[in-house]
Amino acid sequence: MSKEQRLGEIIAEHHGREGPLMPILHDVQAEFGCVDAESEAIIAKGLNLSRADVHGVVSFYHDFHTAADQRPEVQICRAEACKARGVEALMTDAEAAAGERVKLSTVYCLGLCSVGPNARIGDDLHARLDSTRLTKLIESA
């Protein structure tokens, strides 16, 4: 399926509801990692809006990106069980290790609550993290 076809499906899923633009933009961002110029044009056409209307919304909200973030991503669980097991004390070192090269994302529960603090890179889950292990993980991402 082409990107244009998938965008058409996303638009159709929300078309007809009140205020379809925001849910469409969220779905496009989730699926493609950004709402680029091509997507803006297709969404605008699908909703009978101007491209400027769509771009205005995309550029207003910090949640939306006009280009995909190419950096490696490390997701760190900061939900209650991982907090209770000390994840917050690891964050300063994690942020220092990540710098601008690695994108750190916060997630809320990776399903391994009893063995936290936990993180995920791609499909790989990493449990029982301490500062040293998390720093190495980020540096190797």
Residues that bind ligand FES (CB under 6 A): 77, 79-82, 109-113, 116, 118
CB of 133 to ligand FES, least distance (A): 15
Give every CB contact of residue 102 below 8 A, 6+ residues apart in sequence. 71, 72, 73, 74, 138, 141
Enclosing H/E stretch for 105: strand 103-107
Q: Which is nearer to ligand FES, 41 or 79 (CB)?
A: 79
CB of 117 to ligand FES, least distance (A): 7
**Residues paired with 104 in a beta bridge:** 74
Nearest to 60 by CA among 10, 21, 103: 21
Nearest to 64 by CA among 30, 20, 14: 30
Reported residue count of the chain is: 141
CB of 138 to ligand FES, least distance (A): 17
Q: Which is nearer to ligand FES, 35 or 134 (CB)?
A: 134
Q: How many helices (H) and strands (E) does the chain have?
A: 7, 4
CB of 110 to ligand FES, least distance (A): 4
Q: Which is nearer to ligand FES, 10 or 112 (CB)?
A: 112
